[in-house]
Amino acid sequence: METTAPVADAATTGLYAEVQLFYARQVHLLDTVQAEPFAATFAIDGVFEHSPDSPPARGREGIAEEVRGYNERRFAHDPVRRRHWFNMLDVREQPDGSVHTEFYALVATTRPGQPVPVIAPSCTVRDVLVREGGELRTLRRKVTQDHLSF
Amino acid sequence: METTAPVADAATTGLYAEVQLFYARQVHLLDTVQAEPFAATFAIDGVFEHSPDSPPARGREGIAEEVRGYNERRFAHDPVRRRHWFNMLDVREQPDGSVHTEFYALVATTRPGQPVPVIAPSCTVRDVLVREGGELRTLRRKVTQDHLSF
Amino acid sequence: METTAPVADAATTGLYAEVQLFYARQVHLLDTVQAEPFAATFAIDGVFEHSPDSPPARGREGIAEEVRGYNERRFAHDPVRRRHWFNMLDVREQPDGSVHTEFYALVATTRPGQPVPVIAPSCTVRDVLVREGGELRTLRRKVTQDHLSF
């Protein structure tokens, strides 16, 4: 079977933790709607496909605009705190130096004075990560919402 | 107190990340109901005790059969996407080379067209992990569901 | 931009995994209401600010008392299993050797015989961690509940 495969490379090289840290910071920017800094966590030619309702956003300007527009359209008159949660993160380094990841996501949305958040939708996410100046950047992200995946 | 204990071995050796990666891949196989590949993440004589309603499944064939049967009985006429989430993972390497883990689990279950998943039950899980051909395998898993633990 | 910053120090040194492990063990003590061992994961002069309804708890005795009192007041006649979940953990080592962290938290509360937990509230947490005898300890924790943050 897989018993001759190398032992968990991403774990031993620190890459696994580096990706976790990268996602934590990326998500904090998204959830505080810092559109430009969030977009800067994508590669210059990054592609962000986050919803079947929107065409993929392309490039940092396009991604920043998508994030700002999405938040304005949906939450301008419905103030919320949104928290993206990622989990069960698989990380696979590729021969070309890029990094493929696959993970689960949920969004906890809280409204003023209501302690119980709405936790939805459940998604799977696939990213291609690359390095720019040594730092991880998302080159492509594709989000699939479970309720639309049947 | 514990101040003379060695600093977080599992962290410094990369074992902690290796276990996280192992669980991510194991869970992806479980949630896509790949019964045999999931069972292959258990040791040859692995034991999987996941519910008080079923006797523990034993050995890879037994575990594969349990996973396939469970999904057929419950979801054949109720299509779902199930996502297991693990969290607050404790990892303790043992003198004999095995690894004891303890963590929380929740399952997010999504039905077609319904964006809000049912997130239940809350569980605690205890695993004994061993190595086969250098790779981590689950030797024993015991899941305790919180609502049945009083 | 940030492209000249060093590559993820906390990841490469093992600190990131060490913090994850520290939090897993700290939370297991909290959720099993082991008030003194939980308080011992704080620095001797630790401060725990977990709710706008209580003044910050100070020192290990004060923190143990706060945890015990909180559980007695709220759950003496309402038995529950509480599970704190942390996620999207940012870790930043400071020049003085302390470690600043920022992460999300949710609490899953299960009652006897009810498989679906109440998952609330959604919080953000900021910690300052220090070392005592080589081991991580929480010097200050401030929890902000999302529904009270508008």
Tens digits of per-residue pLDDT, A77-133? 999 999 999 999 999 999 999 999 999 999 999 999 999 999 999 999 999 999 999
Confidence of residue A8 (pLDDT cuts 50, 70, 90): low
The answer to whether residues B55 and B68 touch, using CB atoms and an 8 Å cutoff, is no
Identify the pLDDT of residue C53. Answer: 84
Residue C21, helix vs strand vs coil: helix
Closest chain C CA to residue A19: C11
Consecutive 10-residue averages of pLDDT for chain B (150 residues): 50 91 98 98 97 92 97 96 98 95 98 98 98 97 98
The complex scores an ipTM of 0.94
- pLDDT one-digit tens code per residue, B74-94: 999 999 999 999 999 999 999
Mutant choice from C110, C119, C122 vs B, greatest count of B C-beta within 10 A = C110
pLDDT at position A46 over 50 = yes
Neighbours of B145 (CB within 10 A): 18
Residue B16's H or E segment, with its range, is helix B15-31
Identify the pLDDT of residue A13. Answer: 84
Closest chain A CA to residue C88: A24
Confidence of residue A4 (pLDDT cuts 50, 70, 90): very low
Of B17, B116, B134, the CB nearest to A11: B17
Cα C29 to Cα B20: distance, rounded to the nearest angstrom: 21
Identify the pLDDT of residue C8. Answer: 55
To the nearest whole percent, how much of chain A has pLDDT over 90? 88
The answer to whether residues A52 and A146 touch, using CB atoms and an 8 Å cutoff, is no
Cα C133 to Cα A90: distance, rounded to the nearest angstrom: 34
Cα A9 to Cα A5: distance, rounded to the nearest angstrom: 10
Give A117's contacts in chain C (Cβ within 8 Å). 106, 119-122, 146-147
Query: Is beta strand C99-110 parallel, antiparallel or unpaired with respect to C123-132?
Result: antiparallel
Shortest distance, CA B119 to any CA of chain C (angstroms): 7
Check C147 against A86: CB less than 8 A apart. Answer: no
Q: Which two tokens stand for residue C109?
A: 């509360």
Which residue from C35, C42, C8 is spatially nearest to C127, judged by alpha carbons? Answer: C42
pLDDT at position C125 over 80 = yes
Give B112's contacts in chain A (Cβ within 8 Å). 147, 150
- Please provide the average confidence, as pLDDT, over all residues in chain C: 93
- The set of residues, in sequence order, having a beta carbon less than 8 Å from that of A53 and lying 6+ positions away, is none
Cα A114 to Cα A134: distance, rounded to the nearest angstrom: 42
**Helix axes A15-31 and C15-31, enclosed angle (nearest 10):** 70
pLDDT at position C2 over 80 = no
Whether the full predicted model's pTM is greater than 0.80, yes or no, is yes
A neighbours by CB contacts (3+ pairs under 8 Å) = B, C
Q: Residues C34-52: what's their mean pLDDT? A: 96
Of A1, A13, A120, the CB nearest to B116: A120
Which residue from B8, B6, B4 is spatially nearest to B17, judged by alpha carbons? Answer: B8
Neighbours of C92 (CB within 10 A): 14
- The set of residues, in sequence order, having a beta carbon less than 8 Å from that of A92 and lying 6+ positions away, is A10, A99, A100, A101
